[in-house]
Amino acid sequence: MSKIVDAATAVASIPDGSTVGCVGVIGWVTPDALLKALGDRFRKTTAPRDLTFYFPVGTGDAQGIKGMDHVAQEGLMKRIVSGSYINPTDPLTGKRPELMRLIRENKIEAYSWPLGATMHWLREVARRGPGYMTRIGLGTYIDPENGGGRFTARSREDLVRRIEFEGHQYLFYPTWKLDTVFVYASSADEEGNLSFENEALVSSNIALVLAAKAHGGRVIAQVRQAVPYGTRSASEVRIPGVFVDTVVVDSSMMMTTGVKFEPAYFSGKRLPLSHLPPITMSADKIIALRAAKEVRKRELSIFGFGVAADVPLVMAEQGTFENGVLKDYWFTTEHGSYGGIVMPGWQFSANLNPDAILDGIYQFDAIDGGLCGFAALAFAQFDRAGVVNVSKFGAANPGAGGFIDIAESAQRLVFAGTFTTGGLDVAFVDGKVRIVKEGKVRKFVEKAEHITYSVIGGVKRGQSACVITERAVFEVTTNGLILTEVAPGIDVRRDVLDKMEFTPWKVADDLKLMDEGFFLTRPR
């Protein structure tokens, strides 16, 4: 008997009080039809109620691919645990995602775990282990001494503990079962065998399936197409049908935000680099150009969301990868795409023209094992004590994503972002930068609102780190920040030191100018 049904039927038997896990990476591999069907069921029937949702990664864009926002309803959602949250405003409505409102207004229990923990925890659930134990995250916001990952006052349960084992401190994440999981694949046959031949990412699909089945849970898959049994090679099938209970086919689903289908994201074809989007002259471009100077050949380099993801694009624009040189640059993100070009914005997470795509759990084995020697990451706040914050600030609650795992495990770190934010306007004239309008929000603050990572702590362990902005570059030392470079046209006192809430440890005696070529509206 075929396992293929419609989405409403697939979610009709999910009971009150159960736990639902779901794959998804922004718009990528997001079973949006299933999440929508569950949200629609609650709107029509007020059932099921009081569900706990487990999203290893922020899922959907809260716009065309709403993802987790479909189920962000009081009464339906009691608790959410996620590695990240989708936070930007909708350009059409000007509103932030509904899930962010529920969190800000303390309407639900909300927790945010580092993405590596959300992935590796699934492995422990699948093997019926007592929990996941790690040193990654000690001293950060996920540490119970700093809140235990709670994002709302309603979140009272200790989902993470600090324990001692053989004389060392660890964070321990006890396991609990997943009753139903939503996964996403390219194809399924009537027996439920799932393949990923047309996907840019695998993410946590396999781990979610095994975690659910280990405790008698149910697996519902959304796929792009149904194929006859026996028409694919066994090596293409990544999830055996014996583990899949129900399949929903949605041939109209988007590949990701703004992309209906593009084989270049899984190298079903390869696009010339001339197809890459042009990069307009901006503060972000300046930052990416300067950060590109830190990238080395044949060093596995991982790029985070935000301006850091622009670095490979500006390198391509400069012609760095011509004549087959791209293969000498090893680029990846936290989601397992290797080689090719890291993409920015809503296409972030997948690479264009990749060489390989690694399962999400194994990708965090690689990250936590220190295999990514260089990392470029964004920052929202950087404080006097060397704490960087990207997880919770102002009205934004994005969580850390893979930031903590990456920052703690790389050898060389670049933190990239504008000097201020909230209305910053800069102009570029004759190779110089001019601050037309200063941002309302300072990013170099006396004390960060959230502890995502202690950069000075990492430097004390042997890491090297620098902070790159559109107007200044700092080296991070065990004593604090050293101002090492300023942009042409920038006044050190007026535009840098007076716009910080603390004084850097020192200004370098041989303070350098950033490369004038970065600031030319036409490359020289």
Q: Are residues 239 and 286 in the same domain?
A: no
Please indicate, yes or no, whether residues 324 and 416 belong to a single structural domain of this protein. Answer: yes
Summarised one tens digit per residue, pLDDT across range 146-160 is 999 999 999 999 999
- Name the CA radius of gyration of the chain, rounded: 23
CATH code, domain with 79? 3.40.1080.10
Q: Which of 201, 234, 249 is the last residue of a domain?
A: 249
pLDDT, tens digit (0-9, with 9 covering 90-100), for 68-117: 999 999 999 999 999 999 988 888 888 889 999 999 999 999 999 999 99
Query: 199 and 284: one domain?
Result: no
Same domain? For 187 and 237 the reply is yes
Structural domain for 473, as ranges: 278-519
Same domain, 191 and 332: no
Query: Is the residue at 487 inside a domain?
Result: yes
Q: Which long-range contacts (CB under 8 A, 24 or more apart) does 503-509 make?
A: 504/474, 504/480, 505/477, 505/479, 505/480, 505/481, 506/479, 506/480, 506/482, 507/482, 507/483, 508/475, 508/482, 508/483, 508/484
Residues 230 and 353 in one domain: no
100 and 184 assigned to the same domain? yes
Catalytic residues: 334
Number of structural domains the chain divides into: 2
Among 249, 270, 292, the domain boundary falls at: 249
**Do 245 and 287 belong to one domain?**
no
Q: So what's the pLDDT on residue 1?
A: 74
User: Do the Cβ atoms of 373 and 332 come closer than 8 Å?
Assistant: no
Q: Is the CB of residue 328 less than 8 Å from the CB of residue 319?
A: no
Helix (H, G, I), strand (E, B) or coil at 297: coil
Give dist(CA 194, CA 238) in Å, integer. Answer: 6
Tokens representing residue 344 in the block: 């920015």
**In 3D, which of 68, 23, 28 has the Cα closest to residue 259?**
28
The answer to the question of residue 258 being in a domain is: no
Is 151 contained in some domain? no
Report d(CA 345, CA 371) in Å as an integer.
25
Q: What is the mean pLDDT of residues 265-282?
A: 92
Q: What percent of the chain has pLDDT over 70?
A: 99
| pLDDT per residue as tens digits for the range 458-517 | 999 999 999 999 999 999 999 999 999 999 999 999 999 999 999 999 999 999 999 999
Q: pLDDT by residue (tens digit) across 12-27? A: 999 999 999 999 999 9
Confidence category of residue 401, pLDDT binned at 50, 70, 90? very high
Whether 482 is in a domain gets the answer yes
Residue 349 shares a structural domain with residue 465 = yes
Residue 30 lies in a domain: yes
Question: Residue 522 has what pLDDT?
Answer: 58
pLDDT single digits (tens) 431-457: 999 999 999 999 999 999 999 999 999
Residue 131, domain member (yes or no)? no
Q: For residues 366 and 457, state if they share a domain.
A: yes
Q: Tens of pLDDT along 225-251?
A: 999 999 999 999 999 999 999 999 999
Same domain, 88 and 207: yes
Do 217 and 309 belong together in one domain? no
Indicate whether 63 belongs to any domain.
Answer: yes
Whether 488 is in a domain gets the answer yes
Residue 428: CB partners within 8 Å, gap ≥ 6? 281, 286, 434, 519, 520, 521
Task: Write down which residue in 195, 229, 249 finishes a domain.
Answer: 249
